[in-house]
Amino acid sequence: MTSELDIFVGNTTLIDEDVYRLWLDGYSVNDAVALRVRSGILEQTGATAGVLQSDTMDHYRTFHMLERLLHAPPKLLHQLIFQIPPSRQALLIERYYTFDEAFVREVLGKKLSKGTKKDLDDISAKTGITLKSCRRQFDNFKRVFKVVEEMRGSLVDNIQQHFLLSDRLARDYAAIVFFANNRFETGKKKLQYLSFGDFAFCAELMIQNWTLGAVDSQMDDMDVDLDKEFLQDLKELKVLVADKDLLDLHKSLVCAALRGKLGVFSEMETNFKNLSRGLVNVAAKLTHNKDVRDLFVDLVEKFVEPCRSDHWTLNDVRLFLNQYSASVHSLDGFRHQTLWDRYMGTLRGCLLRLYHD
Amino acid sequence: MPGKLKVKIVAGRHLPVMDRASDLTDAFVEVKFGNTTFKTDVYLKSLNPQWNSEWFKFEVDDEDLQDEPLQITVLDHDTYSANDAIGKVYIDIDPLLYSEAATVISGWFPIYDTIHGIRGEINVVVKVDLFNDLNRFRQSSCGVKFFCTTSIPKCYRAVVIHGFVEELVVNEDPEYQWIDRIRTPRASNEARQRLISLMSGELQRKIGLKVLEMRGNAVVGYLQCFDLEGESGLVVRAIGTACTLDKLSSPAAFLPACNSPSKEMKESPLVHPPSHGCRSTHNSPIHTATGSRLTQNFSVSVPTLIYTGMGSGSAGKEGGPFKALLRQQTQAALEQRGGSPHRFCRRREFPFLTLTAFPPGLLVHVGGVVSARSVKLLDRIHNPDEPETRDAWWAEIRQEIKSHAKALGCHAVVGYSESTSICEEVCILSASGTAAVLNPRFLQEGTVEGSLEQRIEENLPVGCGFCHIPYDELNMPFPAHLTYCYNCRKQKVPDVLFTTIDLPTDAVVVGKGCLIQARLCRLKKKAQAEANATAISNLLPFMEYEVHTQLMNKLKLKGMNALFGLRIQITVGENMLMGLASATGVYLAALPTPGGIQIAGKTPNDGSYEQHISHMQKRINDTIAKNKELYEINPPEVSEEIIGSPIPEPRQRSRLLRSQSESSDEVTELDLSHGKKDAFVLEIDDTDAMEDVHSLLTDVPPPSGFYSCNTEIMPGINNWTSEIQMFTSVRVVRLSSLNLTNQALNKNFNGLCENLLKSLYFKLRSMTPCCLCHVNFTVSLPEDELIQVTVTAVAITFDKNQALQTTKAHAEKTLQRASTDNDELLQFPLELCSDSLPAPAFPATKEHLESASSNSGTPAAQRAVTVEKASPMGDGNFRNRSAPPCASSTVGVVKMTPLSFIPGAKITKYLGIINMFFIRETTSLREEGGVSGFLHAFIAEVFAMVRAHVAALGGNAVVSYIMKQCVFMENPSKNQAQCLINVSGDAVVFVRESDLEAMSTQQSAVNCQTSCPGEVTT
């Protein structure tokens, strides 16, 4: 006696959170059943393996049917076929768009193209996340990217409106979209110590201060593209390291202010010019796309690593960066104070976040 | 021209992409009613078109209004080729035709295509202006209300219950017409859907006419079914109970939902002057468009069996009772009917009620289950001269049921239902019900309500009256074991009671009830025509016998003594017959404690065998003890003296009177009873019997926290909380052809049902403690080795702690009230209720009846109010208020339930009947996820369409929902499948009782504010 057909349809669609998780994680029905058996559910409920198999199949079928709607979450709210309480709808959407840290680190900053999609099996092998789940996550990134890419208004708001995600998750997606659009390099070995959270933090600061949206809230792509004019202007900052007097004056101001307050004062003093050169050169190079992509590599190479090798504490870094930014206001010959603040304000935040082991 | 139908097409959304090039659609809409069609403009390049059409007006007869559905077709405009259909919406406008139901249909409807399923939604507004012209001869019956609910609907009271109404219409099935060979599957499906919609409309109109003729204004317990007879045609038949209902002045009158006082005025003039005279009972059942191709050229009738008591397996000693069965070939039923003594009083011809629950005082005594079956051969021979064949078949069966009821000393049959099972050209017609004695006061017009009140006081609220035997003790239709009622000690009761009705609300029950099922398969040889019909009719009595034995054994095993809601389904397939009986077992305090089950071995002096027997006996005794504990059956001890002298018929009998023959005059009675008084003997004389005993013990009780029943409410649980989950589950299994023996089949079938139940318990585990109510199993045999089981039920949560207290209190109270049971006046034969009585207006003591009928309502629901207040509300509570149907974006929740009520809520308005028929077909079965994916999606779509229609009527729930048919056919090798589903129910508006209270306090607050405006102005 074999079961040809076996279905259960409720007027209110039954959603089993545990099975949903297994489905999202890309397990096959059989694997999911095995995992559920291992969780001890048979003992708890007195059910048989057959019952579990049938139940799992049912849920998988339901999720499969829901998936089409989850691709455009507002559809899930308006559709008539599945009656699902709003709280459950929110849960379905949120979980569907939730991604794995390990996965996002692999694709962050990469072009969301077919080429990248082909590499998903490598990523799957590397991270231990099933290929199915990798595909879902990748497609989610790509889908969100496509929808909000050319939209006006705040990136986070757009994502929230079109995908009904929680604030937290929408912010993460904003970072992913921002990184994908600007193709920031995040995969280098040097950057491996950084988490998605680190990058997302930086992305948020950069969206707030460095994009078109920071100056004009009615532009297309305002939150996605960096403000080209601003990047051009950054060249002006070069004077800070090119003009030897200005550089010396800057150094003396910083040193005067920090003497006795910094655990690594002498190291700072000897390294000041290198560090300053590094930070200003990063700014000056941002006119080239290639250098924009390498922003994080440069920051780590030019600032994080030298400080780290001299054993700066986070507090040392904070004191230094504050003073380093502020002292520029006292440089009489320097006329680009606003530009400097827009640049350094964001960079300081990013560097502090990036400075850890 | 008494009606104007107005339709407005507002907008569409989520349309499918019809133009691959642009990824968009150029959609327009055709609106068709009868032969008139209107079109909207084409809305270019959009998946969310905004047509905002003018009002399309159709000027039509009310007859057409009742018969025709409104047909809305959404198409994609194509300049060069034919326009592509996106899908259709059929809207039944019947709910707009009677007052106090819906006044407008407005909302988003899923656009449905029989090949692609739901493809987007369309927003439609429909209105009807009816002109009343009451004086002309009516062909229409606008204004008669229809209810699927098998009790008096909650916001009405029954003034008169007129009785049984039935009708059937016949047509050719478009699927089998020659044209079907050249048209597309889509066209064919749509032709079928449309035809069935038309036939349903016509049927309902005709039934309505009969009701008006009886001077009623409503049909309660309306059950409409389709018989897909294949090449011989399509039969749509319906039965119901005609009533005169009065709307109760709603306590929630301030709610917007009930604010249509002007509408209610239309009510009264609908009563048609009675047409006297001796007209043919059956209006021509034939759809006028086509002649009937149906005929009866062969009919096998099965001998009448009166199973007085199937209890004893030892019947075998007598050499097998079935040897004594008489075979009869009867075809004279028509003549018999012609000579019916009751023709003078047309509407009383069949004193049947399709109700399963009754206003207090109506049900006086219950005799037992009566059922009749008949095997018929469908034939293709055209015989337009004999158009009433189907009608005649049913008339025979009903006649038989009636005579059985009479044999039980009853004049009426309640909880009556009819069904068919068709395989190729063989058709089994079945009817069953519960023989009963009713209080005739309810059934006559012009009842003085004051006296009704008196009667109820005098006679009934004992809680045991219905158990008392209606038949004459000294002249019993069959041998039975009687005792004095354990409740009142005055009247005689049987030891076991089987019924098809719900447990009366005042019945005193000990402990809880449970679902009891008997399952059975019998192989039969494949055969053709007459030989096949004969083989089937030969098997039927054996099946009935075994089903009954199983039921009885399982009932004893549960330690219970009565079955309610009994439904026996016999399904015929190519090479087997299946029997599935479901009922809810309870322990009635009025009936004697059931004896145990005793096992007797056939071969004595065999040590190991004896040991085995005693082992089995022990297991059985343990099971009984365990069940008693599980279902909390601990009846008060009764000492023998109180019971009085034993009645001199020391047999243990149940009342199950059944037959399969038309000729009730020649009833062959068989006494199959040889049981001892106290114990119920199971004899194990061969391996089969052993298997049977084993299978008894394999039924696993539901896991803790779960109860199940197939009645409306679970006996012994009163405190429902508000969370409900209605579901449908379908399983199809393929039997391996190798092991096709009766035993293996039985085992498989048992396993299938048990596993299905287990799966349900597992799926619903998060709802515990909960009860599966109205569990409805349907078995069909779509192909040689396929068994399909469909289950629909509702899971309702309840508050565990309160349950015990209320039941106890209830039981004690009822026991105290036990008083004399006086039934001398009540055995009026129904037929004597004369037609000629004038119908005086009844100035009523309205208060009493209102309170009475609210008592008959859902005590559970009323009690649940307090429960809700005490416990935090669960997930099921979100957005319960009836949202305006057009509520912009969010979809309003529509509850669905097979029950007639919604726990913790009050139904404030009935909006009309929902009766929908859908066909879905696919030629890409694999791509849609195989058979499971296909059917899962289809059933979800059906639910969605039902909900959308209810929401468009302004409702927020469907009660008495039933999936009457789910016919699934597959052809995996061709990658094809087809499914037909028919569902029905009553669309209603309900209000949470907690909301009601909140609203009334709000209201009073508002009143207070407005009443003292002085303060505000200062």
- Tens digit of each residue's pLDDT (9 = 90 or more) over B854-872: 343 333 333 333 333 333 3
The amino acid that residue A48 corresponds to is T
Tell me, what DSSP letter sits at residue B673? Answer: -
Per DSSP, chain A holds a count of helices (H) and strands (E) of: 22, 1
- Collect contacts of B184-188 with beta carbons under 8 A, ≥24 apart: B185/B114, B185/B115, B185/B921, B185/B923, B186/B85, B186/B113, B186/B114, B186/B115, B186/B921
Contact A6 B735 (CB under 8 A): no
DSSP A307-322: HHHTT--HHHHHHHHH
Instruction: Please determine, for residue B827, whether its predicted confidence score (pLDDT) is greater than 70.
Output: no
- The residue with greater pLDDT, B367 or B257, is B367
Q: Is it the case that residue B884 has pLDDT exceeding 60?
A: no
Of B868, B551, B929, A221, residue with least CA distance to B938: B929
The pLDDT tens digits for B951-976 are 999 999 999 999 998 999 888 888 89
Does residue A128 register a pLDDT over 70? yes
3-state DSSP of B164-217 = EEEEEEEECCHHHCHHHHCCCHHHHHHHHHHHHHHHHHHHHHHHHHHHHHCCCC
Among chain A residues, the shortest Cα distance to B754 is held by: A51
Q: Are B157 and B248 in contact (CB under 8 A)?
A: yes
Query: If DSSP states are collapsed to H, E and C, what string results for B782-832?
Result: EECCEEEEEEEEEEEEECHHHHHHHHHHHHHHHHHHCCCCCCCCCCCCHHH
| Among candidate residues B433, B438, B430, B432, the one with its CA nearest the CA of residue B410 | B438
- Degrees to nearest 5, angle at CA B100 with B94 and B102: 50
Q: Closest Cα of chain B to A7: distance in Å?
A: 5
Percent of chain B clearing pLDDT 70 (strictly above)? 67
Give the whole-angstrom CA distance, residue B931 versus residue B970.
8
Q: Is the pLDDT of residue B994 over 70?
A: yes
The DSSP letter of residue A226 is B
What burial class does residue B383 get, using C-beta atoms within 10 Å of its C-beta: 0-12 exposed, 13-18 middle, 19+ buried? middle
For chain B, what's the residue count?
A: 1018
CB contact under 8 A, A7 and B890: no
Can you tell me the distance from the alpha carbon of A180 to that of A83, in angstroms, rounded to the nearest whole number? 36
- Residue B673, pLDDT above cutoff 70: no
Per-residue model confidence (pLDDT) at position B681: 63
Residue B327 backbone phi and psi in degrees, to 5: -95, 135
User: How close, in Å, is residue A141 to chain B by CA atoms?
Assistant: 22
Looking at the complex, report in whole angstroms how far the Cα of residue B725 sits from the nearest Cα belonging to chain A: 6
Amino acid identity of residue B715, one-letter, is P
Please say whether the beta carbons of B560 and B586 come within 8 A.
yes
- State the pairing for strand pair B363-379/B426-438: antiparallel
Nearest-angstrom CA–CA distance, B459 and B462: 8
Backbone dihedral angles phi then psi of residue B515, each to the nearest 5 degrees: -75, 130
Q: Which of A5, A11, A51 sits opposite B726 (nearest CB)?
A: A11
* Cα gap B57→B351, rounded to integer Å: 44
In this structure, of B33-47, B110-124, B286-300, B475-489, the range with the lowest mean pLDDT score is: B286-300
pLDDT attached to residue B883: 34
Distance separating alpha carbons of residues A117 and A135, to the nearest angstrom = 7
* Residue at token pair 């399983």: B731
Instruction: Give Cα B890 distance to the centre of its chain.
Output: 33
Nearest to B850 by CA among B151, B100, B158: B158
Question: What is the pLDDT, as a whole number, of residue B1003?
Answer: 56
- Residues B202, B133 contacting (CB under 8 angstroms): no
In DSSP terms, B791 is beta-bridged to: B729, B777
Residue of B121, B729, B735 lying closest to A1 (CB–CB): B735
Averaged pLDDT, B485-500: 84
A80–B948 CB contact, under 8 Å: yes
- Whether A164 contacts A90, CB under 8 Å: yes
Chain B residue with the nearest C-alpha to that of A66: B937
- Give A-chain residues touching B940 at CB under 8 angstroms: 9, 13, 65, 81-82
Pairing of strands B957-971, B976-992: antiparallel
A52-92 pLDDT tens trace: 999 999 999 999 999 999 999 999 998 899 999 999 999 99
Where is pLDDT greater, at B231 or A237?
Answer: A237
A 10 A CB-CB count for B887 gives 14
Distance CA B901, CA B883 (A): 20
Residue B141's pLDDT band (boundaries 50, 70, 90)? low
Cα four-point dihedral sign B160, B161, B163, B164:
positive
Answer yes or no: is pLDDT of B780 > 80. Answer: yes
**Highest averaged pLDDT of the listed ranges A15-29, B163-177, B219-233, B542-556:** A15-29
Return the number of other C-beta atoms located less than 10 Å from residue B160's C-beta.
23
- Report yes or no: B212 and B132 within 8 Å, Cβ to Cβ: no
Phi and psi at B388, nearest 5°, equal: -100, 20
**Over the stretch B586-626, which tens digit does the pLDDT of each residue have?**
998 888 888 777 777 666 566 677 787 788 888 888 888 88
CA distance B461 to B363: 11
Q: Is A18 on the interface with B (CB under 8 A)?
A: no
Does residue B350 carry a pLDDT above 60? yes
List of chain B residues whose C-beta atoms are within 8 Å of the C-beta of residue A1 = 733-736, 748, 751-752
The predicted-structure confidence for B745-776, as pLDDT tens digits, reads as follows: 888 898 899 999 999 999 999 988 899 999 99
Burial letters B287-320, b for 16+ CB under 10 A, else e: beeeebbbbbebbbbbbbbbbbbbbbbbbbeeee
Alpha helix positions (H), A211-336: 228-233, 239-242, 244-258, 265-285, 289-293, 295-299, 305-309, 314-327
Q: What percent of chain B has pLDDT over 90?
A: 27
Q: The whole model's pTM is what?
A: 0.82
> Given pLDDT bands bounded at 50, 70 and 90, which one contains residue B578?
very high
Residue A104, pLDDT > 90, answer yes
Q: Which stretch, B24-33, B652-661, B967-976, has highest mean pLDDT? A: B24-33
Q: Does A43 touch chain B (CB under 8 A)?
A: no
Number of helices followed by number of strands (H, E) in chain B = 17, 35
- Please state, for a pLDDT cut of 90, what percent of chain A lies above it: 57
Q: Which amino acid does the sequence have at B544?
A: E
Is the dihedral angle over the CA atoms B499, B501, B507, B511 positive or is it negative?
A: positive
Q: Does A61 touch chain B (CB under 8 A)?
A: yes
Distance CA B215, CA B245 (A): 11
DSSP codes of every residue in B267-288: SGGGPPPP--S---SS---B-T
Question: Can you tell me whether residue B685 is helix, strand or coil?
Answer: coil
- pLDDT tens readout for residues B900-940: 999 888 998 899 899 999 999 999 998 888 999 999 999 99
Nearest CA in chain B to A54: B759
Residue B184: other Cβ atoms inside 10 A: 11
Other beta carbons within 10 angstroms of residue B423's beta carbon come to 20
What φ, ψ does residue B198 adopt, rounded to 5°? -60, -45
- Residue A36 pLDDT level (bands cut at 50, 70, 90): very high
Contact status of A70 with chain B (Cβ, < 8 Å): no
**Residue B678: band (very low, low, confident or very high) from pLDDT cuts 50, 70, 90:** very low
- Nearest-angstrom CA–CA distance, A17 and A88: 10
Per CB-CB distance under 8 Å, the chain A contacts of B731 are 3, 5-7
Phi–psi pair at B47, nearest 5 degrees? -95, -5
Q: Residue A298 contacts by C-beta under 8 Å, 6 or more apart in sequence?
A: A278, A282, A285, A291
How many Cα atoms occupy the beta-carbon half-sphere of B788 within 13 Å? Answer: 22
In tens, the pLDDT along A219-246 reads 655 678 888 888 888 888 888 888 888 8
Distance from first CA to last CA of chain B, Å, rounded? 59
The pair phi, psi for residue B511, each rounded to 5°, is: 70, -155
Residue found under tokens 């029997």: B579
What are the tokens at B1001? Answer: 């306090």
Contacts of B1014 (CB under 8 A, 6+ apart): none
- Other beta carbons less than 10 A from residue B756's beta carbon: 21
Closest CB to B936: pick one of A45, A61, A86. A61
Residue B538 has pLDDT above 80, yes or no: yes
CA separation, residue B1013 to residues A50, B254, B979, B1002, B1016 (Å): 69, 22, 64, 17, 5
Query: Does the complex come out with an ipTM higher than 0.95?
Result: no
Percentage of residues in chain A having pLDDT higher than 70: 97
B726 interaction partners in chain A (CB closer than 8 Å):
10-11
For residue B967, the one-letter residue type is V
Query: Minimal Cα distance from B748: which residue of A?
Result: A1
> Which one has a higher pLDDT value, B917 or B658?
B917
Judged by CB atoms closer than 8 Å, whether chains meet at B730 and A52 is answered as no
Total residue count of chain A as it appears in this document: 357
Instruction: Report the distance separating Cα B1016 and Cα B1001, nearest Å.
Output: 20
